[in-house]
Structure 1
Amino acid sequence: MNATPVSTARAALTVLTALSLSALALPAAAQSATPPAAAACPSGLPEGTRCLNGRDYLGAYYWIAVPRDWQPETGVLVVHAHGGPALGEPTLARSTGDLQRWSVMVRAGHAWAGSSFRQGGVELLAAAEDTERLRQLTVATIGQPRRTLLHGQSWGAGVAARMAERYVTPDIDPRRTAPGPLPYDAVLLTSGVLAGGTRSYDVRLDLRVVYQALCQNHPKPDESAYPLWMGLPPDIKLTRAELASRVDTCLGVQRKPAERSAAQQQRLTTLTRVVKLPEHEILSHLNWATWHFQDITMRKLKGRNPFGNEGVQYSGSDDDATLNRDVLRYRADPDALAALAQDTDPTGRLLLPTLTLHGIDDQTAFVELESHFRETVTEAGAADQLVQVYTADHAHSYTSDAHYVSAVEALLDWVDKGDKPSAARLAQRCKTLPTQWQPASGCRIRVDYQPAPLDSRVPQRRRPPAATAPAIKRP
């Protein structure tokens, strides 16, 4: 019998794991600071689920959930990388909310593990290490499962994508002639921020400069000026409520259209046309372009700027020439851009079967990011490891139980049988699920859809060359 592509790739990966350790490799003896302790499950989990939580030795909180009758020799473990990223100190509540949102995995009969990550802020590779450390702890607690799937949601999809390209067995003993079980078998990326920090955040710099040209209140004229790429200087105290009030004063976004002034409506219309964000998403993206930018530039990059808009020609206003004259222009620092790329940009060198699901009208992580990811993976020679599927959804945080159950089943068939899925076959699988997953209302896969290029959504700009993650040889 001829070997399937998946079995061939897995054999090659086994050779790779015996040759080197990845950047995700962690000491096998690493211990949890708070060993997993039995805990009452959060609401929404099936009766009979066994739940444990704790805090690991680097400070990440976690939950582990094991369905009734789950056995490692036949069971599947789903390891979850959450979105965000959150700012501030880690909390158990962060992981609790993830377990509740993704209880579908446990309801489908799979064990689940999710980490809060050790710290807040944009630290993607650290989050990847936290996720892998939890997998090791979970296996030590509940046993080595038959299959392990890695699931990344939103920003966590970027975490999982980097893990899929840096893949080796982290707990291998170099003295052995053969490695142990592969840590992950396949990857599911949902609503992913998959163009890395160097491309995914361009729209937010564009939003800041266009908003400021129109509104002149972030910062206000009587406040200290600062470069907008900074997000917010550390010594300026601005609350989210205060920013929301400023945005509403300028744009009227918290008012019904009939309650807005003509000037507010004109500015709002101009902003949405130029930046290509709907009005209900303006405040959310401005929040990210304020406090997340502050985290990236001030904490992570020590005051250096990775963001630029040189060469951008903004269009969609009543007077584009005036707009392009008035917007502030910034040039990215090459070293800062390189540092951000090293941590956050996928290289596309996927080493695991990877399936993405993305809502077509998702305005938080817009669907054109998937085009950039596809191009990156194709250029890296790993297109055979990627299947992308799109759904008729506008939601970012969750689409439907049926989509996720179908995706997990398809990934398992890809790994177990070499049966690579397609959008059409996934749609058919979704429609034939048992009624408990409500396939009639939950299956919204659009089999012929392909997103437009990222440059059609976010204008091109001049940028200095940025380093990417270190080269990883494919087997």
Structure 2
Amino acid sequence: RRHGDQVVRAGTRCLSGQDSAGAHYLIAVPAQWNGTLVMHAHGGPTLGAPTLARTVEDLDRWSIVVRAGYAWAGSSFRQGGVTVRPAAEDTERLRRIFVQQVAKPQFTILHGQSWGASVAAVGASMFTDDGAGKRPYDAVLLTSGVLAGGSRAYDFRLDLRVIYQSLCNNHPRPDEAQYPLWQGLPAGATMTQADLRTRVNACLALDKPAAQRTPEQQRKVDTITRVLKIPESSIQAHLNWGTWHFQDIAQLRTGGRNVFDNATAQYKGSADDAVLNRSVLRYSADPAAFAAFAADTDPDGHIPVPVLTVHGIGDPTAFVEMDDAFLRTMQRAGTAGHLVQTFTTDDTHSYLADPVYPALLGALSAGHAGVLSMGFTSSA
């Protein structure tokens, strides 16, 4: 069966459906199944209503897993938006569907990619007994993970919003209704990503090579990249997240309360840091909202099975420093002894390379036999 440009080999059994909570799912079992099930938690998070197309896209991207002999199962999750624990519940529900309707795996690996790594890390702590005295997940693989928790991982996007507004003053424009930038957008806003891109290009000319920008445009681009230490190629994407995902958090997750804080942040690296720090808008988080958001989105590290991570050092979306935060989380939980962290020289986020993932899955399977090594070095 073909999905996009990737091939799920002939003889692969593909099953799709919608679970009792409304999440769409897709299951693929190769003809020569090795007995291991990979439960996939996708990245994003996707906004809007769940669709089967999302799971088809995920199988497309991760078809190497099936071609390497593993069964694969992915959920769209029952709802879009920035919420972690419900997505972990949806993933566990799909695992049970697989066991009840397809087969009982010999070994089950929980795989989370990007934001889905938070889902997997949280889920591996939530679900440690399958009801029959056994662990539902034998190992966890976290790739390009947003592992600092929502309470910390998104802060820099507020920094981007306030710095961008200080430099460009067009999101919102002076003649538009003003709102605190941590809201992302006010309720009922009709702005599209194309609209925002037009505003960004008017100010920063990201759609042009540096040589075609005005000195003022380039100065503003340099201020953002030097202060926030992000490549200019990712400015637009992070502004998008800091707009619509912030709107989702404010309107649907926190009852309109703020979870982000830059009240005491000191921004450094611009041509005039004093001017920049005086000009940016400042916000303080609501403590109760912050605590509730952290309770949903932050891993606690209480994972009783082997955990293997991989991260490209130059990841422009989920910064590699998040792996250090996750290590500290596991250390506080007393579980760092079975955490192995690996790194590549990639500067990409969504997908590293086909050989990477079977090697990591194989390492976890070997770890089941007591040899989680394969040349990897634990940072614990």
| TM-score (normalised: structure 2) | 0.97
Deviations 1:422-452 (A, max 9, x none): 6xx14xxxxxxxxxxxxxxxxxxxx69x8xx
Tell me if structure 2 keeps the 8 A contact 1:167–1:351: no
Aligned partner (choices 269, 274, 278) of residue 227 of structure 2:
274
Q: Is 1:42–2:3 an aligned residue pair?
A: yes
- For 2:243, the equivalent position in structure 1 comes to 290
Deviation at 1:182, TM superposition (A): 2.7
Aligned partner (choices 42, 50, 56) of residue 82 of structure 1:
42
- For 1:330, the equivalent position in structure 2 comes to 283
Deviation at 1:41, TM superposition (A): 5.7
- For 1:421, the equivalent position in structure 2 comes to 373
- For 1:109, the equivalent position in structure 2 comes to 69
Q: What amino acid does structure 1 have at the position aligned with 2:340?
A: V
Aligned partner (choices 228, 253, 260) of residue 307 of structure 1:
260
Q: How does 1:139-178 map to 2 (within 5 A)?
A: 139-172=99-132
Q: What amino acid does structure 2 have at the position aligned with 1:42?
A: H
Q: What amino acid does structure 2 have at the position aligned with 1:56?
A: D
Aligned partner (choices 48, 66, 69) of residue 32 of structure 2:
69
Q: What amino acid does structure 1 have at the position aligned with 2:135?
A: L
Aligned partner (choices 297, 314, 327) of residue 361 of structure 1:
314
- For 1:394, the equivalent position in structure 2 comes to 347
Tell me if structure 2 keeps the 8 A contact 1:86–1:120: yes
Secondary structure of 2:3's partner? Answer: coil
- For 1:226, the equivalent position in structure 2 comes to 179
Cα distance in 2 for partners of 1:170, 1:123 equals 23
Aligned partner (choices 238, 241, 261) of residue 214 of structure 2:
261
Aligned partner (choices 353, 357, 360) of residue 404 of structure 1:
357
Deviation at 1:167, TM superposition (A): 3.1
Secondary structure of 1:357's partner? Answer: strand
Question: Identity of aligned pairs, percent?
Answer: 55
Q: What amino acid does structure 2 have at the position aligned with 1:338?
A: A
Cα distance in 2 for partners of 1:346, 1:387 equals 16
Secondary structure of 2:301's partner? Answer: coil
Tell me if structure 2 keeps the 8 A contact 1:41–1:50: no
Q: Which runs of 5+ in 2 are unaligned?
A: none
Q: Is 1:237–2:195 an aligned residue pair?
A: no
Deviations 1:22-46 (A, max 9, x none): xxxxxxxxxxxxxxxxxx6635111
- For 1:464, the equivalent position in structure 2 comes to none
Secondary structure of 1:77's partner? Answer: strand
Secondary structure of 2:355's partner? Answer: helix
Tell me if structure 1 keeps the 8 A contact 2:139–2:307: yes
Deviations 1:113-166 (A, max 9, x none): 000000100110000000000000011122101101100000000000012222
Q: What amino acid does structure 1 have at the position aligned with 2:107?
A: R
- What is the count of residue pairs matched by the alignment? 377
Q: Is 1:210–2:163 an aligned residue pair?
A: yes
Deviation at 1:201, TM superposition (A): 0.3
Cα distance in 2 for partners of 1:361, 1:395 equals 7
Cα distance in 2 for partners of 1:215, 1:99 equals 40
Deviations 1:66-107 (A, max 9, x none): 10133xxx6111010000010000000000000111011101
Aligned partner (choices 199, 222, 236) of residue 152 of structure 2:
199
Cα distance in 2 for partners of 1:257, 1:377 equals 43
Aligned partner (choices 124, 143, 163) of residue 190 of structure 1:
143
Deviation at 1:311, TM superposition (A): 1.2
Deviation at 1:421, TM superposition (A): 2.2
Deviations 1:35-59 (A, max 9, x none): xxxxx66351112111010111111
Tell me if structure 2 keeps the 8 A contact 1:41–1:49: no
Answer with 1 or 2: which has the greater Rg.
Answer: 1
Deviation at 1:403, TM superposition (A): 1.1
Aligned partner (choices 366, 371, 374) of residue 327 of structure 2:
374
Cα distance in 2 for partners of 1:335, 1:391 equals 38
Tell me if structure 1 keeps the 8 A contact 2:150–2:298: yes
Deviations 1:267-307 (A, max 9, x none): 11111111111101000000000000000011111101000
Q: Which runs of 5+ in 1 are unaligned?
A: 1-39, 173-178, 427-446, 451-475
Tell me if structure 1 keeps the 8 A contact 2:318–2:349: yes
Tell me if structure 1 keeps the 8 A contact 2:128–2:137: no
Q: Is 1:55–2:18 an aligned residue pair?
A: yes
Q: What amino acid does structure 2 have at the position aligned with 1:59?
A: G
Tell me if structure 1 keeps the 8 A contact 2:186–2:247: yes
Secondary structure of 1:401's partner? Answer: coil
Deviations 1:299-327 (A, max 9, x none): 11110100010211101111100100000
Deviation at 1:235, TM superposition (A): 2.4
Deviation at 1:236, TM superposition (A): 2.2
